[in-house]
Amino acid sequence: MSAESASETPAQRSLTEDEEHLARLGYKQELSRSWSGFSNFAISFSIISILAGCLTTYGAGIANGGPVSISWSWPIISIFILIIGFTMSELVSAMPTSGGIYYWASKLGGPAAGFFTGWLNLIGLIAVTASVAYGCATFFHLTFLAWGWQDEFSLNVVFVFFLVILTFITVVNIFSSHLLAVINNISVWWHVAGAAFLVGVLIIVPDQHLSVSQVFTDKFNGSGWADGSTSSLVYFFAIIPFGFILTQYTITGFDASVHLSEETQGAAKTAARAIWQSIFYSAVGGYILLLAVTFAIPQVDGVPDYASIPAGGVAYIFDTALGSTWGGLLLFVSSCAQLFCATACLTSTSRMMFAFSRDRAVPGSRYWSKVNASRTPANAVIFAAVLGAIITLPALKSVNGIPTAFYAVTSVSVIGLYVSFAIPIYLRWRAGDSFEVGSWNNGSKYKWMNLVAVIEIVVVSFMLMMPTSPFGAPWRDEFDWAAVNYAPIMVLAVLLLLALWWTTSAKKWFTGPVKTIDEDVVRAFEN
């Protein structure tokens, strides 16, 4: 036996490289590390899900800007999101933990930063799970309508489907982590093949298409603001930014690669690559899909029928341009993709709740941080699903046929998630060269990349909290509570409650990440 191996502790000899890295961060390996690098990429790619976000919020993009909001906003905002992804890839390489977002904030900014970041991230994840499951329910309902299996669209029916889907993905998530990895691997190929199929059908089947000029220059204002103007400053600086929700909502949830890092092999490198690659490939694939849908927009008397899209969404385009058989088939392909997406969302949410509870930040922590015989946090899965159902109750109401509350839930998910990203990204920028980077890093480029990422998040979050319709503006005569964008109400209320909770109680007992591994083991790897 060599002198070097003789000096190793038993813990050092028994732990893998991933477990050693986790031990240095203060945690023992509790979850099953059975995910490959591809599986880690797959879960973020599945959650981004171009067949979900692109299609469920397409109506919001057309209503707020028209085709130019699709053809120009998507690639521009995607570049900014890719920069955000690069900054998070660097952070996960240095600190690959399940609760990575708030763990980073805690280590770089102290317990208060970690507390607020963790809660914003958790709320965002619960909201995105709920919104994806609701969108999935809507698409299955629209599919059955197209096939003649149901008679009329009903928000009550959608909500029942929503509850069934939540129950299904909860049961799936309670089973083994390895099963979830397999499901996400399948999901990648369903998304790739499904998107290619949709694009092919949208190119070949319709009798007519919009011109290139119409797709890249046509403007439309169906928001109700500025009397439908497409030339005023309001249109360019308010209406089009309202449409950013299409891109920002679709390309989100890539923090799943962080939350599953404790179950991924070679996480310091593979999780880092998975984040930016899932964003890049989704941005390219999503753009091709969106252009195909936009070119297929129906025309009435030679004029594109943009006005029918905000309420009817892509279902109107599919049915009118393709007919009920083809339209129903495309809706079914998208519905299945959204089911994959919702399953992955709940996986990511439960891992975040497990990690946050492990550090005793969530009431009832000992229940949510418990893992079952399959080494999955089953209690956290169930709790996240129940909360998702509760916050989606307002979606039972609609305004002019549009489930405004659905878009509000998507706004809450986007704001919660991206603001939680912004805090550690800013803190890493503030740390400068003193930050100890991992094997994957941005070098000196972090100096501008992190700053750009934070600014983009602040600007888009502000726009998503504005009333998207005159019916939701309290100072207008046509004000209707059903049309209110309750995203700012919920976000501000949460921030106020968190501030009160922190000031009166949490700061006395929440000290940040709690080590779950023997201190001697941690010191052994630090030496």
Least confident of 154-163, 224-233, 368-377, 503-512: 368-377
pTM, entire model:
0.87
The CATH number given to whatever domain includes residue 158 is 1.20.1740.10
- What sign does the CA torsion over 446, 447, 453, 454 have? positive
User: pLDDT tens digits for 339-389?
Assistant: 999 998 998 899 889 888 888 888 888 888 888 777 788 899 999 999 999
- For the chain, the straight-line distance linking the first and the last C-alpha, in angstroms and rounded, comes to 21
Mean pLDDT score of the chain: 88
User: Residue 206 is part of which domain span?
Assistant: 34-461
In a domain, 326, yes or no: yes
DSSP states of 16-81:
-HHHHHHHHTT----S---B-HHHHHHHHHHHHTTTTHHHHTHHHHHHEETHHHHHTHHHHHHHHH
Q: What's the structural domain count of the chain?
A: 1
Asked if the structure places residue 393 within a domain, the reply is yes
Q: Is 518 inside a domain boundary?
A: no
In a domain, 50, yes or no: yes
Report residue 5's pLDDT band, with 50, 70 and 90 as the boundaries: very low
Give 407-435 as a DSSP string. HHHHHHHHHHHHHHHHHHHHHHHHHGGGS
* Phi and psi torsions of 35, nearest 5°: -90, 135
Coil/strand/helix, residue 483: helix
The residue whose two tokens read 């570049």 is 79
Share of the chain above pLDDT 70, in %: 92
For residue 173, being part of any structural domain is answered with yes
**Predicted pLDDT of residue 1:** 40
Indicate whether 256 belongs to any domain. Answer: yes
- What would the mean pLDDT of 407-413 be, rounded to a whole number? 73
Q: List the helix and strand counts (H, then E) for the chain.
A: 27, 4
pLDDT score of 450: 97
Taking a C-beta distance cutoff of 8 angstroms, is the pair 11, 521 a contact? yes
Q: How confident is the model at residue 404 (pLDDT cuts 50, 70, 90)?
A: low
* Residue 244 backbone phi and psi in degrees, to 5: -60, -20
Phi, psi of 65 (to 5 degrees): 130, -30
Q: 517 vs 420, which has greater pLDDT?
A: 420
Domain-embedded: residue 477: no
The answer to whether residues 240 and 70 touch, using CB atoms and an 8 Å cutoff, is no
Least confident span in 161-165, 247-251, 416-420, 484-488: 484-488
Residue 25 in any domain: the answer is no
